[in-house]
Chain A
Amino acid sequence: MQTMQTLKFVKKEAPAWTTGTVATPAGPLYRVSTEWTRDDYRGMIKSRLGAFRMNYTVAPGLYAAGDPTKDSDVFVTANYKLTFDILRRALKGMSAWILVLDTKSINVWCAAGKGTFGTEELIKRIADVKLDAVVGHRRIILPQLGAVGVNAGEVRKKTGFRVSFGPVQARDIPAYVQAGYKKTEEMSTIRFSMLDRLVLTPMEINPAMKKFPWVAGGILVIFGLQPQGLLFQPAWSNGLPFLVLALLAVLAGAFVTPVLLPYVPFRSFAIKGWIVGVLSVFAATRFVDPLNVQDTFLLAASYLLFPALSSYIALQFTGSTTFTGMSGVKKELTIGIPLYFGAAGISAVLMILFKLKEWRIV
């Protein structure tokens, strides 16, 4: 009867990343593969690009890696599939239990910030999977960044399980276990390498580019607008350099500033973005002939508007970094927002002056 049930359970909906089941006092559990298939790699790339990140998920519950026993470690993770995949790959050659919380397919850190990777969910999930029947000990290991949402004292009081916060990165788990559950400073510090920053840039560029057609349309209308009506020729010849400058401003804020973050002076993201923005306007208008903006009003507007745009976009990257805090971002915004509105307002006046001159009104 037990085998029949197991078979049915496997046949019905075994995910591709499982390799059979293991029997436990709490019923059969899937055993996960510790290898990535081509689908797993494809999923990682797609989720990095933002294609389907919201439903890239695994079912919450308890899973086995290797051949775990009553004494094996329990690693807790989120049900964002990329997070889960990184953990199961890190457990290669080990035998352990994996407890997946329902974090609405969001990674550990973000979910901990929201509270879905949290004290309540962990307590509930420990009871749901009957963890006390599956393992004989009372220890669970959480990713360190989960500490933002999980109160370890509370979990111990309610479930009897003692929480250890393991390394920040799953890849350090084997070394952490081998060292007798001790973390080095390296393991408990969040890193933010150039590669880490680079993989985040598509999610900075994509949202900015979604608004770009509106900006482009606006620019073409402004330049095309003539006393005789909306003309294509001036829209194109005068508007194009502005369009390219706007595109460069987006790249300066969403790509160049994040990637070169530590090398751009000042700690403020708004100032970093502004500096890269000014440099890109300068380089483009000086050294690229078709972008050589001749008119003084237009040139002044370019220097006011585009670096401000880069600065604003660079400020958005604070949401993706590993070291910016709320108080700092609030301070930047309090000072920055009036300046952005000021820059936009003065640019608008300069553009109007340019149009008046163009139409020979002044």
Chain B
Amino acid sequence: MKYLANVTTLQYSLDKCTGCGRCVEVCPQRVFEMRDKRAAITDRDLCMECGACALNCEFGAITVNAGVGCAAAIINSMVTGGPPTCGCGDTSVGCCG
């Protein structure tokens, strides 16, 4: 399943990549794969902006405006003006479930 096209804030610069493979290891959506010993983006529209890749890239090759893709949290932030945070409980699969 894919979400809306052309909305992700994911940015990747190949020249900073050292080919450590950490982004491939952490991405739950297979946005990255190794090609010629460097990371390459497979399909940007698969990105859910969780931010795991950017946080774990030690070479600053990846940036993304990470946050929760949760309507309730975003509506809340629109009302209060704060950042969207999940007031959520838990599930083994998703977030606010």
Contacts and interface: CB of A to CB of B under 8 A. Distances in A.
Contacts of A80: 90
A152 interface: yes
Contact of B56 (A113, A151, A332): A151
Contact of A324 (B3, B84, B91): B3
B45 to A, nearest CB: 9
A326 interface: yes
Interface residues of A, number: 64
A325 B3 contact: yes
Interface string B36-54: 0000000000111111100
A285 B92 CA distance: 39
B26 A54 contact: no
Nearest to A145: B28
Interface in B7-58: 7-9, 22, 25-30, 46-52, 55-56, 58
A165 interface: yes
Contact of B3 (A50, A183, A323): A323
Contact of B71 (A114, A165, A315): A315
A268 interface: yes
Contacts, number: 181
Interface string A237-277: 00000000000000000000000011000011100000000
A72 interface: no
A261 B1 contact: yes
B71 A332 contact: yes
Nearest to B73: A319
Given A80-B90, A110-B88, A147 B97 contact: no
Contact of B25 (A112, A114, A183): A183
A267 B97 CA distance: 20
A147 B56 contact: yes
A164 B22 CA distance: 9
A110 B30 CA distance: 20
B59 to A, nearest CB: 10
Interface stretch (A3-11, A35-43, A192-200, A351-359): A192-200
Contacts of A54: 89
B48 to A, nearest CB: 4
A320 B97 CA distance: 5
Contacts of A343: none
A217 interface: no
Given A165-B25, A330-B74, A320 B91 contact: yes
Contact of B74 (A113, A153, A322, A333): A333
Interface of A: 47-48, 50, 53-54, 80, 82-83, 86, 105-107, 109-110, 112-114, 144-145, 147-153, 164-165, 168, 183, 185, 188-190, 192, 196, 199-200, 203-204, 261-262, 267-269, 315-316, 318-333, 337
20 contacts: A47-B90, A54-B89, A107-B92, A114-B86, A144-B25, A144-B28, A147-B25, A168-B28, A185-B30, A188-B28, A192-B93, A268-B4, A319-B88, A321-B1, A321-B69, A325-B47, A329-B70, A329-B74, A332-B4, A332-B71
